Amino acid sequence: MLVGRRLAAGWPLWAIVCACVAAVLLALSLSLSPHAPRSQHGLIRSIGYFADPGGQMTVAQVARSASFSAVAPILTRGYSKDAHWLRLTLAPKPAEVPLILTVGVPNLDRISLFIPDPHGGWSETRSGDRLAFRDRPWKSPLLGFVMPESGTAAQTVYLRVQTSGTSAMLVDLVPEGEAYARLFRMGVIQALFYGLMITALALSIGLYFYSGDTVLLWFAASHLTYTLMTASFSGYVSVALPMLATHGLTSVLTIGSGILNTLFHLQLLRRFAPARGMLLIGQAMAMIQIASLLINVFYDETFGLGLSMLLSTFSMLFLAALAFTARTSAHLSLQGLRAVYTIYGLSILIWLLPAAGIGIAGRYSIYAVQVQGLLNFVLVLSMLSFLALRTRRAAEAAQAAVVALNAEAEAQAQTALAQRNLTWMLAHEVATALSIIRLATAKEPLSARNATRIDRAISSLDQVMQHCVEVGRIESARWKPTPARCDLVALAKDALAQFDTQGRPVMLDLPPVAMIQSDPELVRLAFAHLIDNALKYAPARAQVTLRLGPPVPASGYRFAVENPHMPGAAPDVSKVFNKFYRDDRVLGLSGSGLGLFIARDVVGTLGGHVDMDVSNGIVTTWITLGDLA
């Protein structure tokens, strides 16, 4: 709707936009297609074309007497009962490379490939939309043939195509890998396209239940039929129904899509009060399209399809002209409506110009049926934006206010929780340390044992306060590494020397030296927190192991600290790096719940990674560190 409002500022702007879109569509039609009569991979030396009126000639007769004219690999013929013969002169086959001969579009009725056999005859392989998917020689949404082994010599083969609808043929011979690569690329594009189509359908249905506007139901019916038609046209329906031939379904969907598309646009344009006489002409066109469906089903399939295609093509230009007779704004401004329908009418240039002999047909012009869906998508989005913006501004503002209040309340709750945890931790640690000091000093003289207890309590209190200082540095983002050459082995030993192992055996599995470019103080700090965590929470007299593995090119050195975990369940590795987290079983031990939280932030600052694994009762906390740039 925003686009429509801007276009409404004056006719020169939307006229320029329409001219630019027309130029792009014309460029797609004239330029984005192969012009040389040779396949993309050079495996088809030349292609000759011959029309067989009535389709009575055999391959032997065609090969013997037909006069072929040179054509490009992309050829358009349509809506006739002729058989179309293509003579393909193939280059010598690359050794041991399976080849696929692809023939488009996927809804061609009957295709036969004739290859000379050693006995002077012809070997025939059949494909096409009149064959069930399971019976086709190449299992793919596209039509094609797996070329048999024929040595490396050049050969001439013949294709016979006969179909009731369009005879648009895109012929190429490619290696098998390239054929499947094309299928993959096409599948990605088609997935995006059908995603847009399903989105438009869901939006229109949802908006109908919200607004009750019946024009949205007309759009939903038209768009659903159109989406099914393009899926059948692209070969996906035959894949979904592998036991059935889908040519009849494709024909009915093609004509039905044109009928519903015309009816939808007439219902939409009626809201803008167009010229009554032209509206009646549009309704008459819709009735003739319905007649073409009956002709297709009960009388002549080729004539019915041809008549429907002619009416659908003309209706696009007619609807654009009808939009210019509108007198009242409705779902769009008048200028926006005319801009959309001008582009809609000009879009037929993609396939109308090649059909008229202007330019050469390309893949874009053959598959241009998807343009209609994209333009319908733009149209329904314009209507959606107009209606939604008109009715939902107040609701959106209220919702935004509620979200902001909830976010603020959540932030305040998190802050209050962190403050409570910090207060509880500090009170617990300070009270414990002071109690130990009070008990130890109450007795005179001071024994060596009590002196040791006092020293440990003071050290514990000092460590808690140091952790709080380090957390403050984290929250104020004040870690600033100073890179220097350092030895990880020496830093690991220095970190270990800071702690009293309390009789626990410590095994060092370290190389003689491990040099990296990093901040030695921050590396030592990270190592110290891992070692402290293992010494503090390993069972009494359990062995703690320090390992430093060889460097890995992608991640650097891996420093790991291993220890058995306490009796009972293993620690929760999803929470151990959270601030203030402590397992219920260790609340009686001195600690801040900040060590691994600090280690994670320090290691992240150094460009490394920290994690914890638990396996077979062993807790492994590890760090990977590489050179710091």
- Give yes or no: residues 121 and 205 share one domain: no
Residues 21 and 141 in one domain: no
CATH number for the domain including 132?
2.60.40.2380
**Residues 167, 204 within the same domain:** no
| Amino acid letter, 485 | R
For the cut 70, the answer to whether the pLDDT of residue 406 exceeds it is yes
* 148 inside domain: yes
Segment among 115-129, 196-210, 252-266, 363-377 with least mean pLDDT: 363-377
Task: Assess whether 7 and 116 both reside in one domain.
Answer: no
Which residues are CB-neighbours of 475 under 8 A, at least 6 positions away? none
**Are 206 and 240 in the same domain?**
yes
* Structure confidence at residue 471 as a pLDDT band (50, 70, 90): low
Q: Residue 607: its pLDDT value, please?
A: 85
Q: H-helix or E-strand containing 581?
A: none
Q: What does 126-161 look like in DSSP terms, one character per residue?
A: EESTTS-GGGSSS-SSSEEEEPPPBTB--EEEEEEE
Confidence of residue 300 (pLDDT cuts 50, 70, 90): confident
Q: Would 428 be classed as within a structural domain?
A: no
Is position 605 within any domain? Answer: yes
Q: What is the pLDDT of residues 305-359, one digit of tens each?
A: 888 888 887 887 888 888 888 888 766 677 777 877 887 777 666 655 555 445 5
Q: Evaluate if residue 164 carries a pLDDT over 70.
A: yes
Average pLDDT, integer, range 475-492: 78
Count of domains observed in the chain: 3
Position 546 scores a pLDDT of 92
Considering the domain architecture, whether residues 355 and 234 belong to the same structural domain is answered as: yes
My answer on whether 209 and 270 are in the same domain is yes
pLDDT at residue 435, rounded to an integer: 67
Sign of CA dihedral 413, 415, 421, 426: negative
Domain membership of residue 442 (yes or no) is no
Stretch 86-110: mean pLDDT: 81
End position of a domain, from candidates 180, 207, 232: 180
Predicted local confidence at residue 341, as pLDDT: 80
pTM metric for this prediction: 0.54
Contact 205/216 with Cβ under 8 angstroms?
A: yes
Answer yes or no: is 302 within a domain: yes
pLDDT of residue 1: 38
Q: Are residues 116 and 245 in the same domain?
A: no
Within a domain: 473: no
Q: For residues 274 and 417, give the distance between their C-alpha atoms in angstroms, rounded to a whole number.
A: 65
**62 & 157 share domain:** yes
In a domain, 398, yes or no: no
**Last residue within a domain, chosen from 180, 196, 227:** 180
Domain membership of residue 38 (yes or no) is no
| Residue 11 shares a structural domain with residue 108 | no
pLDDT (0 to 100) of residue 438: 61
**Residues 163 and 277 both lie in one domain:** no
Rounded CA-CA distance 86/80 in Å is 16
CA–CA separation, 582 and 496 (whole Å): 22
- When pLDDT is cut at 50, 70 and 90, the band that residue 72 belongs to is confident
Residue type for position 303:
F
pLDDT mean across residues, the chain: 76
| Domain identity same for 9 and 151 | no
Strand partners of residue 168: 76
Can you list the alpha helix ranges (DSSP code H) found in 46-167?
59-65
- b/e map 524-537, b = 16+ CB within 10 Å: bbbbbbbbbbbbeb
What is the extent of the structural domain holding 58?
44-180
Asked if residue 105 has a cis previous peptide bond (ω within 30° of 0), the answer is: yes
Domain finish residue from 132, 150, 180: 180
